[in-house]
Structure 1
Amino acid sequence: MNNINNDKDKAKKSLYSTIKKMVPAIFTAMTATILGFIALSTSPVPMIQDFGKMLTVGMIISFVFALFFLLPILFTRDHFFTPKMKDKINKPKKAKRIVVIDRLLEWFTQKTIAFRWGIIILAFVAATFGIMVDLDADVETDVETFMPQDSQELADIHKLRDILGTTDQVSLVYQGEDILNDESLVWVDKMSESLPEEFPDVVVETKSITGILKQMNDNELPSGSEIRDQIAEMPEGQSKLFVNEDHSKGVITVGIKHLEAADLEEFLGNLNLYLNENKLDSLDTTITGKSVLDVEMIDGLAGGRYQMTLLGAGFVFLGLLLLYRHPVKAFIPLLPILLIVGWSGMMMHFLGLNYTPLTATLGALIIGIGTEFTILIMERYFEEREKGHAKVDAMKITNKTIGKAIFATALANIGGFSALVASDFVILSDFGLMTLINISLALLSTIVVLPSILIILDRFVKIKQTT
């Protein structure tokens, strides 16, 4: 009976200790993670904004579930169910395994602290190199490269492109008070005829209202009132493809070859320059279409990924500063994760991977995920320091008590994201691979770099002794 009462008392004390010590630390880690994810909402690409929102919602649900569902289950198990006596033969084996793991963690911690300056220098050099090569990294937005490369649908697209010469296009929209006057139509005809000659390696064909009018008049362009009369005779569905009802807007459809992202951006730049050189004062022209949106996405991803990363780091720092009210404590858990941004860029460079709409989120994503690890380690370290332990001893105890939990969390994340690697869609498999790499780097940074940072910066944090 006494044993049962003791078990119940231990369960109550464990619950109280968890709520008092672990829940605030986990809440702080969750807040930092959410702040990192919120940075994704600043992306100019809507799909990335939605991705950030769903990650934020998922984190909040996970925290609520753990607090109001998992803890009661664990308490119920320990309070109302008496554990059975374990086999005495297995106890020494289990105890031996625990001792081996603890000694391994202690030895590893001792070594990382001993070589802390070398570790810090090497980590910063690798991160700097990674950022340098990452600045020149390409961004891939071609939907065809994201699809399974052996799919029948992709083969059909390629076959259709071989037959027609093109499946891609841009649209030149021109507008004015009256786009059917002789001067405007001559300009439209000139553009329609000259674009294939000016860009022979890119432009396959052009279609415009002047092309239809010339077909109706033995390759001659009508003038005056004949233009309006002949357009009125056209089927409504045909004329609306090129001019609107009040004849204030028109479009020249330019069929182009399928281009890589960089080549497409260069072509659009040259096309815009050509239009400016041959501009008609009475008309305003705009280049539009899916290809233009692809280039805008490239620019948004190329510049936006750094913006998201920096904003994520800024949000996390400000959030931790409000919670800790100490700049050094707010900076410590962030520094090892910022290094991963450079390491990740280096890994993508060596693997020959281009950024996609998904991998462009990795900077802000890993700041959110990685700070969870570093905050929990830091919280536990300073808890031991407040108990009066020396710096090295506090770090050893921290890794022994919470190191296994950090490993388990990282492995669980790796296991979850590893399913994406098996996807037939390249965009998902690349994202899954890089997420696995980044989580592994976050774990490496937490157990190797963070202890060195904590030991070095410990002097700047005022420790209040509790015992």
Structure 2
Amino acid sequence: MARGARHLLGPLRRRWLALGRRARVRPPAAVRRGGRAGAARVRAGGHAALELAVRHPVRVLAVGVALALAGWALDTQLEVESDITQLVPADLRALEDLETLQEASGIGGTIDVLVEGEALGNPAAIGWMVDYQQRVLDRAGFGDERGCGEAAVCPAFSLPDLLAGATQPGQEAVRPSAQAIDALLAAVPPYFSQSVINAQRTKATLSFGISLMPLDRQQEVIDEMRTLANPPEGLKVELVGLPVLAAQANAEVSSHTRRVLTLIAGLLAVALVLLVALRTPRRALVPLAPIVLATGWSALVLFVSQVPLNPMSVTLGVLVIAISTEFSVLLAERFRAERADGLETAAALRRTYASTGRAVRASGITTIAGFAVLVVSDIRMLRDFGAVTVVDLSVSLLGVLVVLPAVLVLSEHPGRLRAGLRELRPRRRQPA
């Protein structure tokens, strides 16, 4: 039976194989020639860069350091885009609903001011809340002529609003007594009053509506509200709510100091791991040299190209350090192995970059190409993230392929570093 089945299926199987062979379409000749030409140009460029680093390592390193210094100086000028309306598609349903809400109500979120104290129902505490609310609204530009649509902050339901019939801001004489406040709060149903003050009268809230704005501007408004608080003795004030958390998180992520400290921490962690694994400071630190310089190059390219950072891309440096360090360590260790086999420095570098360097170059280019796909996204946050990733990985790969050979040459021949530095010094003119 099995032999009969094979006999019946044999012609069908041969037909399928023939169709499969005919379906194999080779790329056009022009495409094949273009691919070979592009690969040849990449190899030629890599070979020229390697020869330049071998012959003039000090000059290559000096140019790299100068560009990195310029990038580090300009890093503080990089823009961080935090406006959610600019980072997501304009036709996103959630964003459209949020904009509709703001057009109808004038607000896009709510900030709550939590007030804690022993007796928040006394006239002094109520008077401070009324005055504080008015100061915040005045600073935000809210008034009869400018409603919620034009002011950064608007009033929302809070304890002063509940007592609005018995108090008037700035007029001490009409503020009610403790008995009047107790009577008014007792007359209000608990399910209504508990949204602004608890039953023990130890916690109360003042709510403010905030318009839709960039997170950095939102943080400025929150800081102004904190500054205006200045509560009297016995009262504790804290700003809470989702807008407060979002603005604080953005401020921490976007902070230049925090970004630099994160990069330094990542480099130190990698250096410590390499020191433990390789056991000698030179073997551990030499591969990191181009990675350190690449952080400055990246900032320089981003500043020149005016590609803004965002909450996603601003933390990308640590990922790039991890990827680039792997490439750098592979090349440095292969170079050490070639030197151990008796090759001279230049020959060891040429063999290293002809073998391992080719694999690193191919891996780096494919990684960059993968992230480059994000550049065509219709979501700006992903598009900018892809652009920043491409820049970071490109300069890191350039550092591994160009600067690392120069650093390896100088680590093997420290005398060339001293001689090269002497050549770079401006020569004094001899008197006529």
The question of a shared fold, defined as TM-score above 0.5 by the shorter chain, is answered with yes
Q: Could you report, residue by residue, the CA deviation over 1:263-312 in whole angstroms, capped at 9, with x for unpaired residues?
A: 33333333222212xx3223211222233323322342213322221111
Query: What is the correspondence of 1:167-206 to structure 2 with a 5 Å cutoff?
Result: 167-200=108-141, 201-206=151-156
Query: What is the correspondence of 1:145-224 to structure 2 with a 5 Å cutoff?
Result: 145-200=86-141, 201-215=151-165, 222-224=176-178
Native 8 Å contact 2:111 2:208 kept in 1: yes
Q: Could you report, residue by residue, the CA deviation over 1:37-92 in whole angstroms, capped at 9, with x for unpaired residues?
A: xxxxxxxxxxxxxxxxxxxxxxxxxxxxxxxxxxxxxxxxxxxxxxxxxxxxxxxx
Query: Residues 106 and 273 of structure 1: is their aligned pair in 2 closer, same or farther, counting only changes over 3 Å?
Result: closer
How high is the TM-score relative to the length of structure 2?
A: 0.76
1:282 correspondence with 2:223: no
Letter in 2 for 1:208: S
Unaligned runs of 5+ in 1: 1-92, 462-467
Query: Residues 178 and 152 of structure 1: is their aligned pair in 2 closer, same or farther, counting only changes over 3 Å?
Result: same
In 2, the alpha carbon distance for the partners of 1:441 and 1:217 equals 64
Native 8 Å contact 1:171 1:254 kept in 2: yes
Q: Report which stretch shifted further, 392-401 or 267-276.
A: 267-276
In 1, the alpha carbon distance for the partners of 2:115 and 2:140 equals 20
Query: Residues 245 and 140 of structure 1: is their aligned pair in 2 closer, same or farther, counting only changes over 3 Å?
Result: farther
Query: Residues 401 and 218 of structure 1: is their aligned pair in 2 closer, same or farther, counting only changes over 3 Å?
Result: closer
Letter in 2 for 1:212: L
Query: Residues 373 and 218 of structure 1: is their aligned pair in 2 closer, same or farther, counting only changes over 3 Å?
Result: closer
CA-atom RMSD in angstroms = 2.9
Deviation at 1:360, TM superposition (A): 2.0
In 1, the alpha carbon distance for the partners of 2:414 and 2:315 equals 33
SS of structure 2 residue aligned to 1:207: coil
Deviation at 1:102, TM superposition (A): 7.1
1:264 correspondence with 2:215: no
In 1, the alpha carbon distance for the partners of 2:164 and 2:130 equals 9
In 2, the alpha carbon distance for the partners of 1:159 and 1:183 equals 40
1:322 correspondence with 2:276: yes
Q: Report which stretch shifted further, 198-207 or 359-368.
A: 198-207
Native 8 Å contact 1:140 1:355 kept in 2: yes
How high is the TM-score relative to the length of structure 1?
A: 0.71
Q: Could you report, residue by residue, the CA deviation over 1:79-109 in whole angstroms, capped at 9, with x for unpaired residues?
A: xxxxxxxxxxxxxx9xx99999877754542
**Residue in 2 that maps onto 1:118:** 59
Native 8 Å contact 1:192 1:208 kept in 2: no
In 2, the alpha carbon distance for the partners of 1:332 and 1:175 equals 56
Q: How many residues are paired up? A: 365
In 2, the alpha carbon distance for the partners of 1:250 and 1:152 equals 35
Query: Residues 297 and 351 of structure 1: is their aligned pair in 2 closer, same or farther, counting only changes over 3 Å?
Result: farther
**Residue in 2 that maps onto 1:309:** 263
Unaligned runs of 5+ in 2: 1-32, 142-150, 416-432
Query: What is the correspondence of 1:49-68 to structure 2 with a 5 Å cutoff?
Result: none
SS of structure 1 residue aligned to 2:164: helix
1:353 correspondence with 2:307: yes
Give 1:368's match in structure 2, choosing from 322, 326, 331: 322
In 2, the alpha carbon distance for the partners of 1:131 and 1:350 equals 13
SS of structure 2 residue aligned to 1:149: coil
Native 8 Å contact 2:46 2:401 kept in 1: no
SS of structure 2 residue aligned to 1:450: helix
SS of structure 1 residue aligned to 2:237: strand
In 1, the alpha carbon distance for the partners of 2:265 and 2:352 equals 30
SS of structure 1 residue aligned to 2:113: strand
